[in-house]
Structure 1
Amino acid sequence: MAQNFPLVPKPLGDASTDPLKRVSLIPRMPEQNVPENVGERRPLAPTTREDKPLEGRHHPAPKTTPLEHKMTDPEAEKLTSVVQKSVHPHELEDGLTKQSLTPKSMDQRLPMDASGRLGLGKKSPFHRRGRPMFAFSDDRVMLERVLKTHSPDMLSFDVKSLLSIVHDIFKSPVPSIDVVSASKDYADHTSFEAFAELIDQISCEIECKCLHGGESHGLMSSGLHLDSRNTTAFSVLSLVSKYRWDAKVVLILAALAVKYGVFLLLAETYATNQLTKSMAMIKHLPAIFSREATALNQRLDKTRVLMQDMVDLATTIIKIYELPTQFITEEFTNHVPTAVYWIVRSVLVCTSHISSRVNGFRQDKGIMSFMEVSEIHENSERLRKINGYLTEQLNKCLEKIKDRITEDEYQELIRTFTTIIHVDVVSPLRRLFRPIDYLYHGAAHLKRRVGIDALSQKHVLLMISDLENLERELYILEQLYTDAWEQSFEFVWVPIQDFWTETEKTKYETLHSSMTWYVLGEPWMLPRSALRFVKESWGFKTKPILVALDSKGQVTSTNAFPMIWIWQTFAYPFTSTRELDLWAEQEWNLEFLIDGTDPHSLNQMADGRYICLYGGEDMQWIRNFTNLWRGVAKAADIQLEMVYVGKRNPKNGLQPIIDRIRQEQISHTLVDLFQIWFFWTRIESMWESKQRVLKHKNNTREDKDNVLMEITSLLGYGGEGGGWGLVSRASELMVRAKGNVFEIALTEFDQWNGEIPSKGFLRALYDHLMAPRPPHHCTRFMLPESAGIIPNSVECTECRRTMDKFYLFQCCLE
């Protein structure tokens, strides 16, 4: 049901805050007097002799008012051009000498833009001495008069459908005789019989004034005198006083559409229909259609530009009144009446041009005069500027509404996944994915579309990621998906993008076509609230995360990837309790460190060999380090296997080192860059999982975790790119050190060789490495940013001092 929106003009003191009210929007009629309480009008200061006032007239001295000071504000200067006004010749009597508006040369052309409209902001004959020839009068009086015609009731109708019909008529060109126009069917409910009589009244009111407007001051433009248009505009507005502003505009445009439609019908059928031909003869149209067809089309083309501008502004007004009532603020109510007034004035201009053709009054061979062109241009420019301002305010309002909706939906998602108890996982997933209600399942030709209900009573792992660098995660998940089939949990890929292009949509189709698990359909439909929730509540940034939900929709882990990388399917059901239990059962040894990453090393350990893992990027250091180890292994009489594990975040620059090691048969290496990535990803996952466990246990800084210290050391080694080494055997002690420290210990083998029989090889090496040494640079390492788990302080694994904290942003560096 329609609502009334009272429109109360602001007092004059608020003019500075209203950009559209700082300039006049309507020419003042000669007989109009400005009420004293509205404000003083300052005459234009003469700048040249030609601009001096007529002699004999009394002109009060200019006064500096508060309003004038406000008009010097830069913002006021910027917004003064929001609506420009035409100075018509009869208005030049108001304090200025008469000047000819006829251009010096009739060959002068107005600037056009690409669409055929007269260009905005360009020098044209409408300008004189650098300023537009527009009247500066107080439109507060006009606004008050417009508001007096507005007394809406609760009556409402489908304004959008009626405007659509009007727009279709305006877009119709003048048809050729042999052209068969395609018809357009309208919905049955689009019926406006109740308004037919009113539209006819409006049409008659406009038509009568256009044909009998009379002349004043010796000027007549397109059949309707300029002063008469102002009076006619208020007369038309009075006919639609009980309707809302959007309804007023559409009804008045409908009256123009009827007039224009009749003209088009005459043009289309006068040569083939006897009745139409008779009517056309009376109106003297055959001569116009035959001899002036080109000029007529040019005239109507310019008129249709103004029609389109009216439709655009009317569409904006309709959108404004589709807003919730509380959002229709003074930014709209103070300017919509002005917009409606100028649409009515533009309707009168169009009607005058059409009437002059239909009724055969013009004998100028259809050629538009300069004044007619300028009149259409000025009205189009004014409507576009008003529409631009209202559209800007509308977009700001819509953005506020969208932000409020996003906030409400975001809070609802928080409640959905934290406080509300569900009986099935489907309910919260529907809320998260809304409005998307289906998934894809299966690969290639087996892929089919299924509902979200297919996940009912299942444990669900949501893999949330973007579209980049998924190959490694997908490879591992494909192996786990088969093993986990009987454990009643399912993978669902949820791709997240802030903006989706056609290229990204194509990439999405390519990626999910090979996936055997579930994939969210049309992920670009996800609302902003869902994207915000995934990022802020679940910690998604760019690195993929795996959110675990139990069969009732309860979040058991905001990122189960670390648990899966460490323990694979043994991590099921991916709860915090399960994570605590796994760490409580787990021993820190070499077998656990390389589990799942290098089967060759595991086989060597099974044969009782010592395994030395090492990394670095200096080939000469690698040769020296491996040669030292061979000498020590021979002297200590131990079987040793050396394995090159590279560094964290391996790039292509690491592949040549692997190739050289294999060519020179220096040592064994991990199979490829993928295996190297997975080895270090597991260590990062151990660090993240340990941090989460310690946070869950509320450990204090004094409660040290030795396993975490070892993990941190390895992360430091792998991040620096320098040489390092770690040696152990099966479940025995692991001994690790930086490359230079390890080299010194190996060259000093004779100093600790005697301890091997009593302590064992690993313990003797460890004690020698831990012996006091001269001060040296300890270590540095970069922590992975996952789920926001970054500790406030980290202790150095070499000297036990608190490390300094820095921020590093790194991209695509070797």
Structure 2
Amino acid sequence: MASNSMQITPAMNQVIPNELWVSLESNGSTMMKAVRASHAPDGRKVDVKPMLRIIDNILLRAAPAIVEGTYEDKGLLEEEIFSRSDVDAKLKTLASIIKKVSSELFSHNNLILSGTFKANSNVNQTIIPYGMDCKCTCSGGRDVHATIMMLLDTLSSYSWDAKVVLTVAAFIVNYGHEFLLFTSSEAKNSALAQSLAFLKQLRDITDHAKFSKAKIDAITKLIKGIMAVTKYIVELHNLPPESIATDEAPMSNAMAYIPKAAYWTMLSVVICASYIASLSGSEETTELLDLSRLASEGSKMLVILKSYKTIYKEYEDEKCKTAYWDLVKTFSSTHSDNMTVLKTLLLAKDGKQHLVGHTSKRIHIEELREKHVFLLASGLDISKEEIDILGKLYQEAKSKGEVQYEVVWIPVVEKTISWDQEKQQKFEQILAMMPWYAMPEPSKIKAEVIKYIKNEWRFENKMILMPLDRQGKVGSLNALDMLLVRGNKAFSSIYNEKEESIWEAQQTWTLELLLGGIDNNFSLVLDWTKQGTIVCLYGGEDIEWIREFTKATKDAVKNISSGTSFELVYVGKNNAIKEVENIIKTIDDENLSRYWNDLSSIWFFWTRLESMLYLKMQQCKNLKNDRIMQEVTTLLSYDDSDRGWALFCKGSEMALAQGDVALKSMKEFSTERKDADLFQAVSNYIKKSQKIQRCSRIILSGDRQEIPSKKLSSDGCECSMEKCFVYRCCADK
């Protein structure tokens, strides 16, 4: 046990010598040259963001003021972080290096805290770790720099951002719990905290709070600066590689500044660790000068790092603006083939010219030369149903050989959102469902390309399909509508810009127009009508109405003419795939009716109706006199009502009714004499009941450009529909 009559040494004060301050102000100092010379990265990539979140979480509970305004996801719970297996695996690979850095930090503080010091008269004895040398043998300032160089040597093979984050993580591992004891009011009153303080030989934390607030506030301020500077180092270091590698300003200046910022961060960590360790001492001996000066230097660095980020953004914006107009010019020019356009559009930031398929097979962009190409633009929220239907069209074109085209997926991802492992996995999952090719790395799609797609192709959230002919000329905007309505038969119209020809074969409202296409469920319904079967398609999400309507329909069918068959099929609801899944389960469990068990068919049915509406909006001059337009609008408006709807079909005739009218028609027919003509009776009842209907609405997915100055109206309603906006977070709610 050490003697109580000891004297404080300069090492305890950890005064930073002037040469270190000079080094922080000069890029060419001997110390900074040594810092840069220690950097020998071996190319390993470390995703430091999960570790930053964990550090943030620890500090959030230890001292919330430190993380306030520093990290977006400061409220992330520990279980949410560790529940992800990929994060857990990443952290395990770094555990050993964090332990090693922690050991070096701890050994540094054993050294600087060694020496003699005088005990407080209110404390019986001061306990010194076993085996500690009580004689200070070296200068504190030199020890600080030596410790930092030792850390830099240990972390020499890591990138600058990883060096900093690993050092901060080691600091939090060693000193986070002690800092919590001194800063948390709850901890000071906790029996557990008092017990931990005793076991760690910390002075009574309740008494400590009376006279150490200034020191704690100074440490808190410095740690807040450490976290802020660390964040900017990570952000700058994780900018696109082609930006970091450039020798041009501003990035060359920013990259040259990062080692100095990293040195300041590590210096501050070492000093903070020493000061927190000194909180277990028996007297207020530590000066606050260095803490304040370090925090001040950190504030200066923060301003410089922020300015580099701002300058970089302005620099990139200017580059993007120039590249954007070059892209516009390229698309508006005439070319001998499609290569100029495709390479300008699909060439990655790093200059790579290949595309990747679902089997990981890669092809060179040159393989698309002189081919018709559909460019599929979508976010990572593209659905399986969308991919399935478009995939059927693509495979049909390949197998029949009547038309030939290739499809290339361009994932549109906001450049302001970082590309992490989770997004990469999502991208790979989507690509695995696609039978065509895609740009291999969404994070490397050029910013001007994303801007062009949004501005010139009017892309928002829903996928679009842009056709390029063999000379690289863009055909009809968003060929998806035409393909969904007429399948690959629309191919020639897409490239010849003859949208009106899409309706030439079907000028009247028939079930074949409504259900024409590649879907097997559609074909089965059409086969029934050709055989003379009366078919009733119905939809909605009110399960009580569905139960009532299907029961009434079954009762009514008992009275139909002998030899006449009847089929009842549930076709879902627009923009409500999740709800439809649950309804289908109920229909199946209770044996209420037939249904389309393929959700892709349901998505296709409703999206195809919307596509008909949009194409008509582009073509028709007098919408109120167009039968197809009126029927499509009416069906979409019925679908958006609180109750369901029903469409009765016999041969080429159809009768569409709102849910309540359809239900009443079935109930009325069930009371009539047997062998009556069900379709004729229902059709007459619908015409009598729906001469004038109440006002309705249509909710369409996305804000389509075809509609702005147009007004819709549904059959039987004399009012026009005004366009409004509905914002919702999920189309399935």
In the superposition, the TM-score normalised over structure 1's length comes to 0.52
Q: CA offsets, 1:574-602, max 9 Å, x none?
A: 24634321112224211221232433322
Q: CA deviation at 1:473?
A: 2.2
- The answer to whether the 8 Å contact 2:647/2:656 transfers is yes
- Secondary structure at the aligned position of 1:677 is classed as helix
- Secondary structure at the aligned position of 2:345 is classed as helix
Cα distance change, pair 167–482 in 1 and its aligned pair in 2 (3 A): farther
1:779 aligned partner: 696
- Secondary structure at the aligned position of 2:688 is classed as coil
In the aligned structure 1, how far is the partner of 2:297 from the partner of 2:428? 45
1:479 to 373, 392, 398: 392
Cα distance change, pair 455–629 in 1 and its aligned pair in 2 (3 A): same
In the aligned structure 2, how far is the partner of 1:453 from the partner of 1:168? 49
2:408 aligned partner: 492
Structure 2 residue 475 is the aligned partner of structure 1 residue 563: no
**Deviates most, 435-444 or 585-594:** 435-444
Q: CA deviation at 1:748?
A: 4.8
- Secondary structure at the aligned position of 2:653 is classed as coil
Correspondence list, 1:614-629, <5 A: 614-629=538-553
Could you tell me which amino acid in structure 2 is paired with residue 298 of structure 1?
Answer: D
1:546 to 444, 465, 474: 465
In the aligned structure 2, how far is the partner of 1:319 from the partner of 1:489? 38
Could you tell me which amino acid in structure 1 is paired with residue 426 of structure 2?
Answer: K
Structure 2 residue 688 is the aligned partner of structure 1 residue 688: no
Could you tell me which amino acid in structure 2 is paired with residue 473 of structure 1?
Answer: E
- Secondary structure at the aligned position of 2:497 is classed as helix
1:124 aligned partner: none
Could you tell me which amino acid in structure 2 is paired with residue 783 of structure 1?
Answer: L
1:803 to 711, 718, 721: 721
- The answer to whether the 8 Å contact 1:650/1:676 transfers is no
Correspondence list, 1:36-51, <5 A: none
1:421 aligned partner: 334
Q: CA deviation at 1:385?
A: 5.0
- The answer to whether the 8 Å contact 1:615/1:722 transfers is no
Could you tell me which amino acid in structure 2 is paired with residue 613 of structure 1?
Answer: L
In the aligned structure 2, how far is the partner of 1:298 from the partner of 1:635? 99
In the aligned structure 1, how far is the partner of 2:582 from the partner of 2:286? 79
Q: CA offsets, 1:167-214, max 9 Å, x none?
A: 7742289xxxxxxx99999xxxxxxxxxxxxxxxxxxxxxxxxxxxxx
Cα distance change, pair 117–649 in 1 and its aligned pair in 2 (3 A): farther
- The answer to whether the 8 Å contact 2:407/2:437 transfers is yes
Q: CA deviation at 1:489?
A: 0.9
- Secondary structure at the aligned position of 1:680 is classed as helix
- The answer to whether the 8 Å contact 1:464/1:494 transfers is yes
- Secondary structure at the aligned position of 2:409 is classed as strand
1:109 aligned partner: 13
Aligned residues: 495
Correspondence list, 1:152-167, <5 A: none
1:602 to 526, 530, 536: 526
- Secondary structure at the aligned position of 1:407 is classed as helix
Could you tell me which amino acid in structure 2 is paired with residue 495 of structure 1?
Answer: P
2:584 aligned partner: 658
- The answer to whether the 8 Å contact 1:320/1:394 transfers is no
Q: CA deviation at 1:451?
A: 1.9
Q: CA deviation at 1:517?
A: 1.9
Could you tell me which amino acid in structure 2 is paired with residue 566 of structure 1?
Answer: V
Q: CA offsets, 1:743-778, max 9 Å, x none?
A: 334445599999x99xx8756644543337797634
1:535 aligned partner: 454
- The answer to whether the 8 Å contact 2:475/2:497 transfers is no
1:719 to 640, 658, 679: 640
**Deviates most, 294-303 or 778-787:** 294-303
Structure 2 residue 310 is the aligned partner of structure 1 residue 396: yes
In the aligned structure 2, how far is the partner of 1:555 from the partner of 1:576? 10
- Secondary structure at the aligned position of 1:557 is classed as coil
Q: CA deviation at 1:782?
A: 0.5
In the aligned structure 2, how far is the partner of 1:648 from the partner of 1:639? 28
Q: CA deviation at 1:608?
A: 1.2
Could you tell me which amino acid in structure 2 is paired with residue 785 of structure 1?
Answer: G
Structure 2 residue 629 is the aligned partner of structure 1 residue 708: yes
Structure 1 or 2: more helix by fraction:
2
Structure 2 residue 660 is the aligned partner of structure 1 residue 743: no
Could you tell me which amino acid in structure 2 is paired with residue 109 of structure 1?
Answer: N
- The answer to whether the 8 Å contact 1:464/1:495 transfers is yes
**Deviates most, 422-431 or 471-480:** 471-480
**Deviates most, 549-558 or 683-692:** 683-692
In the aligned structure 2, how far is the partner of 1:581 from the partner of 1:321? 56
In the aligned structure 1, how far is the partner of 2:301 from the partner of 2:245? 12
In the aligned structure 2, how far is the partner of 1:786 from the partner of 1:666? 36
In the aligned structure 2, how far is the partner of 1:647 from the partner of 1:371? 71
Q: CA offsets, 1:17-55, max 9 Å, x none?
A: xxxxxxxxxxxxxxxxxxxxxxxxxxxxxxxxxxxxxxx
In the aligned structure 1, how far is the partner of 2:553 from the partner of 2:467? 45
2:34 to 170, 177, 190: 170
2:376 aligned partner: 463
- The answer to whether the 8 Å contact 2:375/2:407 transfers is yes
In the aligned structure 1, how far is the partner of 2:693 from the partner of 2:579? 29
- The answer to whether the 8 Å contact 1:439/1:518 transfers is no
In the aligned structure 1, how far is the partner of 2:41 from the partner of 2:653? 84
Could you tell me which amino acid in structure 1 is paired with residue 143 of structure 2?
Answer: Q
- The answer to whether the 8 Å contact 2:343/2:353 transfers is no
Specify every segment of 5 or more residues in structure 1 that has no aligned partner in the other structure, as ranges: 1-103, 121-161, 174-180, 186-290, 329-338, 344-369
Q: CA deviation at 1:643?
A: 1.2
Structure 2 residue 504 is the aligned partner of structure 1 residue 584: yes
In the aligned structure 2, how far is the partner of 1:665 from the partner of 1:423? 61
Cα distance change, pair 686–303 in 1 and its aligned pair in 2 (3 A): closer
1:34 aligned partner: none
- The answer to whether the 8 Å contact 1:540/1:787 transfers is no
In the aligned structure 2, how far is the partner of 1:442 from the partner of 1:322? 36
User: Percent identity over the alignment?
Assistant: 27
- The answer to whether the 8 Å contact 1:438/1:521 transfers is no
Q: CA offsets, 1:374-401, max 9 Å, x none?
A: 69985x7776555444444443333222
1:770 aligned partner: 687
2:574 aligned partner: 648
Structure 2 residue 343 is the aligned partner of structure 1 residue 430: yes
In the aligned structure 1, how far is the partner of 2:14 from the partner of 2:30? 29
1:669 aligned partner: 595
- The answer to whether the 8 Å contact 2:377/2:409 transfers is yes
In the aligned structure 1, how far is the partner of 2:450 from the partner of 2:30? 41
In the aligned structure 2, how far is the partner of 1:800 from the partner of 1:372? 83
1:298 aligned partner: 143
In the aligned structure 1, how far is the partner of 2:629 from the partner of 2:719? 15
Cα distance change, pair 426–786 in 1 and its aligned pair in 2 (3 A): farther
**Deviates most, 384-393 or 591-600:** 384-393
In the aligned structure 1, how far is the partner of 2:599 from the partner of 2:510? 24
In the aligned structure 2, how far is the partner of 1:388 from the partner of 1:182? 22
In the superposition, the TM-score normalised over structure 2's length comes to 0.58
Q: CA offsets, 1:449-475, max 9 Å, x none?
A: 332111100110111112224322222
Structure 2 residue 658 is the aligned partner of structure 1 residue 734: no
In the aligned structure 1, how far is the partner of 2:529 from the partner of 2:627? 24
Q: CA offsets, 1:420-441, max 9 Å, x none?
A: 1112112112112343532334
Q: Which has the higher contact order (CA 8 A, sep 6+)?
A: 2
- Secondary structure at the aligned position of 1:614 is classed as strand
Could you tell me which amino acid in structure 1 is paired with residue 409 of structure 2?
Answer: W
